[in-house]
Structures are given as C-alpha cells and as structure tokens.
Amino acid sequence: MATISQSFPQSQAAAEPDFVPVARAASVLELVGNTPLLEVTKLTHGVLRPGVRLFAKLEGFNPGGSVKDRAARRMLLAGLESGALGPGKTIIDSTSGNTGIALAMLGAALGYPVELVMAANASRERKKIIQAFGAKVIYSDPLEGSDGAILLCREIVSRNPERYFKPDQYSNEANPLAHFETTGPEIWRQTGGAVTHLVAGVGTGGTIMGSGRYLKSCNPQVRVIGVEPDDPLHGLEGLKHMASSLVPAIYHEEELDGKIQVSTEDAYEMVYALGQIEGVLVGQSSGAAMIAALGVARELKEGCVVTIFPDFGEKYLSTNLWIGWKGWNRSRLTRLLAKCRKESANATI
C-alpha cells in the first residue's frame, strides 16, 4: 500500500480548494483537461530513494482520449477568435492520429467539416475513430511517415487556400499555449508546487514547451526533460526522432534541460509492465516517457518527477506493440530497470 506524505496533496480538491470538477457540461470542449495525476508506486517500489516520488498525468481521460485534445481545442478557439475559422471553412491538418481524433471530435461539436492527412500506416483504430466523428481521411505515403503527411497537407491547402482553416499544430503557438494555460498549472496544483522534474515525449513539442515554460515560471529550478525515439525508424507513434525529422517551429530544444532517447523495444516492454503491475494500459509513447522518467527519478536523492502519459492503449491493440506480444514475464522487468539507469546516465540533465 502506498503512503502519501503530508507534503503532497491527496487529491486535486485538496491541492486547490476552489477546484470544482466538471459535473455537467454544455459541450465536449468543456471536458478537455483536468486529468488525474497517478502516483506510480508499484513499479517504483524499492527502486527509488524514499524522498523521490514519480507521478504520471493520465491524458487518456480527455474526451477524445489523448493529450492532443488540449492543443486542438486551443487552436480552434484561437481560429474562431481571429476569424480565420468561420462559416464555410473546412478544418484540415496533417496528424499522426491523436490530433486528428481531437480535431474530428471538436470539429463535429463545433459544426465544421474536418479533413485529415495521415500516413497510411497509422493504427487502424485511429483511422476508424476519426471517420466515426465524420471526418474525411486522406492518406500519405507510409514510408515518409509524419513528414510525408505534412508535405501532402501543405500541397492540398495551396491548391485551395480560401477553403481551409489549417491549425498547423507544428507551428501554431496556440499548441504550446494550451499546455501553458492548462497542463502546466494542473501539474503545479496537483503536486502542491512540489514538482522538480517534468519528463515528456516530444511530437510537435507542444506539451513539453508549454508545460515546461509554465512550471519554470513558477519555479525556475524545475528541470524539463524531453523524450524521443533512439532511431529514425521507430514504432513510437506520436513521437519524433528530431535529428531525422522536419523540426517543428514551436519546438525550441534549447529550452530543455536534457533529452533522453528510448528504444521502441524498451518502450513496448514498459507498456506491458505498466499494464500488468500498475493496472494502467497505455500507448507506446507513455511507455517511452515512463522509461525516461524512471531513469531520471532513480538518479535523484529527493524530488518529485512528473511524466505525461499521452493516451491509453486500446487504440494500439492492432499495432506491432501487441501483435508480437509473447505474454508477460516479470524477470524482463529487472533487465528493463537496469537499462533505465544506463539511459538516464547518458542524458544531459
């Protein structure tokens, strides 16, 4: 049984007396954010020093099922405010999946048609969910990954610019702003200001930039560490291997205090461990984030490490993550934990 020390609030309500969970909403837009922070206690038991705690923000609780609901909501609201999004417009973007789901969901709720360009190898569940929200899916070359989708989307818009509102999550400052305004403040409140490290995966960079900036504005000592795949040909949907990718305009690596690279194999193994040991079934980018967060936390004498689990795992059941799964083997966890230490030792933190 985990013990919760006095210095940490036991619930969001305790952390913030004015906090009122949304019990009734007029639109799904109002249900975005305010996700729970789960302390990871069993995987970390006997692994971390007594003064170190590790929490995961469960973004799968958003109405569209991922962290991207926040960015999509903020970008659409910014478009409505500026007039760039209005009657007669179609929302279009390139997306590795979760942003597409978020745009499709919110577009439906706001009454706008949505078209999404994505690599043809995005998971089957994601494509179906997007279509279920009424959006049109346009496929780009799977071998070109998310960059291929970006380029095809640009081409489509350039043929008919008046028709489209393109939020462009890679260069839209409303993306990191969403996290500056919501994710960061939630983490600060939920830890009662005790957070010392933020460890988060980098796709567009919106989550880590916005949340990191907010947390550093509260306490400049907070360390912000990015997580990326260790190989250009990776299986970590949602994350970018920056050295081999088009670098998003909103991503400013110089603002990070460090970066940890994680292999697809280790991230998958951690997804299995999180399901079996913590009872949390997440996607592969959460596995990668957890590997990195655990590596950071193991090096600390004292601290409060917060990582982001961008989504839950149901969407990936038909992907390589589960296709090759040979069943859980607890002994593999020991090997994985040893590796976490080695990976964080290589990072510049």
Ligand X SMILES: Cc1ncc(COP(=O)(O)O)c(C=O)c1O
Among all residues, which ones are annotated catalytic? 68, 285
Q: Which of 44, 123, 140, 207 binds ligand X (CB under 6 A)?
A: 207
Q: Is 201 in the site for ligand X (CB under 6 A)?
A: yes
Q: Toward ligand X, which CB reaches closer, 166 or 303?
A: 166
Subset of residues 255 to 284 that bind ligand X, contact rule: CB under 6 A: 283
Q: How far is CA 142 from CA 70, 146, 153, 177, 193, in A?
A: 27, 8, 14, 30, 43
Give the x-and-dash track for 96-135 against ligand X (CB under 6 A).
xxxx------------------------------------
In angstroms, the first-to-last Cα distance of the chain is: 31
Stretch that binds ligand X, among 50-58, 74-82, 106-114, 204-212 (CB under 6 A): 204-212
What 270-279 contacts at long range (C-beta under 8 Å, 24+ apart), as own/partner pairs, is: 270/336, 271/313, 271/321, 272/325, 272/328, 273/43, 273/328, 273/333, 273/336, 274/43, 275/313, 276/328, 276/330, 277/42, 277/43, 277/333, 278/38, 278/40, 278/41, 278/42, 278/43
Q: Nearest residue to ligand X, using CB?
A: 238
Q: Which of 332, 182, 203 is closest to 269 using CA atoms?
A: 332
CB of 68 to ligand X, least distance (A): 5
Tokens of 76: 């659409």
Q: Toward ligand X, which CB reaches closer, 269 or 311?
A: 311
8-state DSSP, 312: B
How many residues belong to the site for ligand X (CB under 6 A)?
21
CB of 13 to ligand X, least distance (A): 27
Q: Which of 35, 62, 94, 204 binds ligand X (CB under 6 A)?
A: 204
Q: Toward ligand X, which CB reaches closer, 79 or 201?
A: 201
Q: Toward ligand X, which CB reaches closer, 93 or 115?
A: 93
CB of 283 to ligand X, least distance (A): 5
8-state DSSP, 171: T
Q: In whole angstroms, give the CA distance from residue 180 to residue 74.
A: 11
Stretch that binds ligand X, among 41-49, 110-118, 182-190, 199-207 (CB under 6 A): 199-207
Q: Is 315 in the site for ligand X (CB under 6 A)?
A: no
Q: How far is CA 296 from CA 68, 304, 312, 342, 345, in A?
A: 25, 10, 23, 10, 9
Q: In whole angstroms, give the CA distance from residue 268 to residue 322.
A: 9
* Nearby residues of 332 by Cβ (< 8 Å), 6 or more positions away: 269
Q: Angle at CA 160, nearest 5°, toward 157 and 161?
A: 65
Q: Which of 40, 311, 321, 337 binds ligand X (CB under 6 A)?
A: 311
CB of 269 to ligand X, least distance (A): 17
Q: Which of 28, 57, 63, 68 binds ligand X (CB under 6 A)?
A: 68
Return the SS3 of 252.
Answer: coil
Q: In whole angstroms, give the CA distance from residue 200 to residue 282.
A: 14
In the chain, the largest separation of any two C-alpha atoms, in whole Å, equals: 60
Assess contact for 197 and 222: CB atoms under 8 A. Answer: yes
Q: Is 203 in the site for ligand X (CB under 6 A)?
A: yes
Stretch that binds ligand X, among 30-38, 103-111, 201-209, 264-272 (CB under 6 A): 201-209
Q: Which of 152, 239, 321, 349 binds ligand X (CB under 6 A)?
A: 239
CB of 10 to ligand X, least distance (A): 28
Q: Which of 35, 62, 285, 319 binds ligand X (CB under 6 A)?
A: 285
Q: Is 238 in the site for ligand X (CB under 6 A)?
A: yes
Q: Toward ligand X, which CB reaches closer, 293 or 300?
A: 293
Residues found near ligand X in the complex (CB under 6 A): 66-68, 96-99, 201-207, 237-239, 283, 285, 310-311
